[in-house]
A and B are shown apart, each in its own frame.
Chain A
Amino acid sequence: MRSDTPDAADTSEAADGPAEADAPDATDAADAADAVTDSTSSDAAAEAPSRAELAARVEELEDAIAAATADDDGKKMSIIATKGTLDMAYPPLILASTAAAFGYEVTVFHTFWGLDILHEERSKNLKLSSVGNPNMPVPNVVGALPGMDRVTTSMMEKKIDDNDTATIEELIDTSLEMGVEFQACQMTIDLMDYDEDDFYDGVTTGVGAATAIQDLAEADIQLLV
């Protein structure tokens, strides 16, 4: 029946006739429902495009798909990095470098404390907070004592070293080599009173939220870390 629809459209005036004639004959609810259905389908048939119109539409859509895929031959990932503690500096860098290995075009937009990851000097001294994380080996009340952040950071740094886990600097260098684009939020640079020279070579400065939105809109994977 369905495949006949385009043909039915050509004889839509004839199709309309019986449907309208059926409706008044309906005496119970079921018949009325059938009549409504019949009437709807014949209306649809009346409005259904012809084969030629469908063929033209298919061609139009095929062109649109071809244009869309031609424009999007590379996979993209966009990450927004907002945190600057030692533990939270890792995920965006690990995911960025790995995605680059998969062939993704990766941008990481660093804003607020996330900017410290790109700061050549500060990135080597990122701290681990000793409070606020119940998985820490010290109770929060002890963690809040002066100097405890330094203790927990040293513990973490030792673990990183013992385990041969890459350092933040190594991950940044590797990511840059792999073609990852690191962007430093200009508003945060001004806010923190940083200088453009404070960042690793290859970091993009002078970018704002609109750049991030553009990257996010084009990306296959978007992450806020």
Chain B
Amino acid sequence: MSDAFDITETLDVKGASCPMPVVQTKSAIDELETGDVLEVLATDPGSMSDIDGWAAGTEGVELLDQAAGDDVYKHYVRRTE
């Protein structure tokens, strides 16, 4: 899955709960350049829906992929502008 794009940076928000995974994802993506891909590692099950909703409602970002593991939820977000 992740071979379709290169991960620029990884944000570890394991342990954090709502609203921190989304808020910290936003802060981290703001630090990146256009085209860069941020990998977000979270343990909050709500992050699956929240990061999806955030990416859909926010300009300049694109959700490339999400993967629900046993304990860790992975999200891949690209900065598009």
Query: Which residues of A does B touch, CB under 8 Å?
Result: 94, 97-98, 100-103, 163-166, 171, 174, 177-178
Contact = CB atoms under 8 A, between A and B. Distances in A.
A138 B50 CA distance: 33
Interface in B3-50: 15-20, 22-23, 25-27
A103 B17 contact: no
B69 interface: no
B2 interface: no
27 contacts: A94-B18, A94-B19, A97-B23, A98-B19, A98-B23, A100-B23, A101-B19, A101-B25, A101-B26, A101-B27, A101-B58, A102-B57, A102-B58, A103-B58, A103-B60, A164-B15, A164-B16, A164-B17, A166-B17, A166-B19, A166-B20, A171-B19, A174-B20, A174-B23, A178-B23, A178-B26, A178-B27
Given A102-B57, A102-B58, A178-B27, A165 B19 contact: no
A34 B56 CA distance: 53
A101 B16 contact: no
A101 B20 contact: no
B-side interface size class: 10 to 19
